[in-house]
Each structure stands twice: as structure tokens, then as C-alpha cells.
Amino acid sequence: MSGERPCRGEFELIADLFAPLSRNAPGALGLIDDAALLDISPGCQLVATTDTLIAGVHFRHDDLPDLVARKALRVNLSDLAAKGARPIGFLQALSLNPSIDDAYLQRYAAGLAADVDRFGAALLGGDTTSGPGPLSITITAFGEVENGKALLRSTARRGDVVCVTGTIGDAALGLACLDAALNLPAPLAEDLSSRYRLPEPRLTTGRALLNLASACLDISDGLVGDLGHLCKASGLAATIERDSIPLSPAARAAIAQDSRWWESIFGGGDDYELVFATAPGRVSELKKLSADLNVALTPIGVLSGPEAGTGVTVRSGGHPIDIARPGYRHR
């Protein structure tokens, strides 16, 4: 019928668009089987993680399909980075609706292919379904790390220094720009919105932290909330200094416009930077590592005993700050 958009069938879609993404993984069997066969390196542990992204919740309906694909993969790779793992591959489950046509999926697959090549994580298999709901993408990523070396949330120590990678709060502020809640000059708004649409998993940094960090996780739901998860797992409390939190020029412009944007920096989420703990005697090593990696590594606070609980206190000028929203909660 004239005007109908072409749509491949399930198996044609797999063969034409997604099977090529398995080319560097013989164990994927060309995506013609219902399972993949993985050989794990001797002396290594398998690391597995999964995340679901839903249109209208985790990405905007008008986001470009190649960026949607890359974000879906990268948020999973960020979990591997937080463990200090090397990516091996991933599974993908798509739930499509009638508005997702071949043109969308071709661009989606092209974006996924770019990151398959960049990060060395081949598509190993998955599932494709259809229904009336919004586009839903579930990716399960696999990595490997040397036995006993994986970075955990539960192994921080009293007196450790809390540090973060990169800059904090950009993604949440970027979403605010896209929603027209925050008005900044176009170049600054674009810098922020690009952080929301396309996070940068700190895989190389995670590997470099294996012998430096005592505990680590990625910032997906907000700095204060996620650091709180580390504190709870380790049975410790954290105090962080607001003025030590590293900010981009665009984030500083938002704060200069209205100090209430600090709330988005504390708890907005979607940064996918790493927050980690390290012994105070090793903080001096961060400067050289930061230069080697070309990634900012910034001390922002300290871990203490749980006498007052296992929460996170934010201070400015020596005084505690009330945090209205420490992090995103799904329910």
C-alpha cells in the first residue's frame, strides 16, 4: 500500500542488521542459534550486568536512533567499568512498536555498530518482540576481570577518601535544557544535552583503578544516592564538600543562573561517572593517573564510621546542606 514504511521480519532483521555485529565473536554463532558459547580467559571471573531503557523514561522519543542504541549499550558498559572489567560482549532484547520502521532500525544498528567497534563488545544474541507499548531496549553485558580483583561497593574502609571521575551533574542539567526548564546559551546547552544523550563509560579508568580503589560504583541515579549505596554496602558514612564537586563550565553557568540547580547536581543521575574510595596515602597518585588517562579524578570527601548511620552528608563552608532529592528512584 502506498505510504507504508518498510519493515523487515524478525529473522531478516537479525540477519541483515544485527548478525554483522557479532562478527568478532565466534561464540555468537552468527546469531543463528538460541545461545552463545563463551570461552573465559584462565584466571578470570565473568562479570554480567543488565539494564532496560524505555522510550519516554530513559531517553526522549525524539532522540536519534543511533544515539539511543549507543546509550543503551554504554550504560551497561559503565557497570562493567565500575567493576574494573574488560567488555566481552552483550545480549540485546528489543520490544518494538509499529512506529519503529526499517529506517529507524538501520540507523539504530549503525550506532550500535560504531560502539561495538569502539569498545570491543560484540553482540552475542538476544530477542526481538513487538507490541503496542513504547520502544524498550534491554541489554545484558558481559565482561571479565582477574579473579579476586573486581571492584565492589562493600569493601571501602573507614578514613578512605571519596573521589569521582569527570564532572558531575551535566546529564541531569542537559535533560533540563532539552525540556526547556533550563535556558543557557546554545553551546553550553548542547554540551549538557550531549552528556545526557551519550554518556562516556569509564572503562579504561575502571581498569586503572583496580590497584588503587578500595570500592567503586558508577553514578547512574545521582551522586548522593549512589554514594549512599556504597556507604550502606560498606557499613560507613560519607561527608562530601559541595565546593569540591567538579563542575563543567556549563554546569557552573546553570548554578550562576539559579543555585537551585545544585539539587540536580547532587541527585539528578545519568552521569555514568565513577565514584570510588581510596586510601588517603594514595591520593597523591591521582594527579599522575588523571594526566595519563586524560580524565579528571577529584577528591570530594571522606568516609567515616557509621556512628551516625550510613548516609551521606553534604557540607558547604563547614555547614551541612539539606538535600531534597539524593537520587532517582524507579518506585
Inter-CA distances, 27 with 40, 44, 125, 261, Å? 11, 18, 10, 47
User: Domain check: are 123 and 206 in the same one?
Assistant: no
Q: What is the strand order of the sheet 319-321 is part of?
A: 213-218, 274-278, 161-165, 297-304, 237-241, 312-316, 319-321
Note whether residue 270 is domain-resident.
yes
Q: Are residues 242 and 308 in the same domain?
A: yes
Burial track 159-169 (b if 16+ CB lie within 10 A, e otherwise): ebbbbbbbbbb
191 and 267 inside one domain: yes
**H helices within the chain, ranges in order?**
10-13, 65-83, 102-119, 170-178, 186-197, 203-208, 223-234, 249-257, 262-267, 285-293
Are 182 and 280 part of one and the same domain?
yes
Q: Tell whether 191 is covered by a domain.
A: yes
DSSP 29: G
Residues 76 and 195 in one domain: no
CA angle 161, 198, 272 (to 5 degrees): 20
Q: How far is CA 245 from CA 68, 75, 216, 224, 307, in A?
A: 28, 22, 17, 11, 25
Under a CB-based contact definition with an 8 Å cutoff, are residues 22 and 111 in contact? no
Do both 50 and 193 map to the same domain? no
Domain contains 208: yes
Backbone angles phi, psi at 147, to 5 degrees: -50, 130
Q: Which residues of the chain, if any, have pLDDT below 70?
A: 1-6, 10, 308, 328-331
Residue 159's SS3 state is coil
Q: How many other C-beta atoms lie within 10 A of the C-beta of residue 297? A: 25
Residue closest to 99 by CA, chosen among 108, 88, 89:
108
pTM over cut 0.85: yes
Mark whether 311 and 168 lie in a shared domain.
yes
pLDDT in tens, 33-82: 777 777 888 999 999 999 999 999 999 999 999 999 999 999 999 999 99
Give the long-range contacts of residues 183-189, CB within 8 A, separation 24 or more.
183/257, 184/250, 184/253, 184/254, 184/257, 185/253, 188/249, 188/250, 188/253, 189/250
Decide if 327 is inside a domain.
Answer: no
Which CATH number belongs to the domain containing residue 16 in this structure? 3.30.1330.10
Question: Which residue, among 153, 163, 299, 147, has the nearest Cα to 230 in the 3D structure?
Answer: 153
Residue where a domain terminates, one of 146, 175, 194: 146
Write down the pLDDT at residue 329. 62
Q: Which of 87, 118, 146 is the last residue of a domain?
A: 146
The Cα–Cα gap between 320 and 313 comes to 7
Residues 166 and 191 in one domain: yes
CA distances from residue 331 to 112, 196, 285, 328 in whole angstroms, order as listed: 30, 21, 40, 9
pLDDT at position 4 is 57
Per-residue confidence (pLDDT) for residue 6, from 0 to 100: 64
Q: What are phi and psi of 243, to 5 degrees?
A: -75, -5
Q: Cell for 176?
A: 533540563
108 assigned to some structural domain: yes
Does some domain include residue 326?
Answer: no
212 shares a domain with 142: no
48 and 15 both lie in a single domain: yes
Q: Structural domain tally of the chain?
A: 2
**What pLDDT score was predicted for residue 294?**
98
Amino acid identity, residue 48?
A
Cell triple for 254: 546553570
Residue 5 lies in a domain: no
For residues 128 and 244, membership in a common domain is answered with no
Position 61 scores a pLDDT of 95
User: Are 222 and 289 contained in the same domain?
Assistant: yes
Residue 4 lies in a domain: no
The CATH code of the domain that includes 206 is: 3.90.650.10
Domain limit, last residue, from 88, 120, 146: 146
pLDDT at 37: 76
Domain of 70, in residue numbers: 10-32+42-146
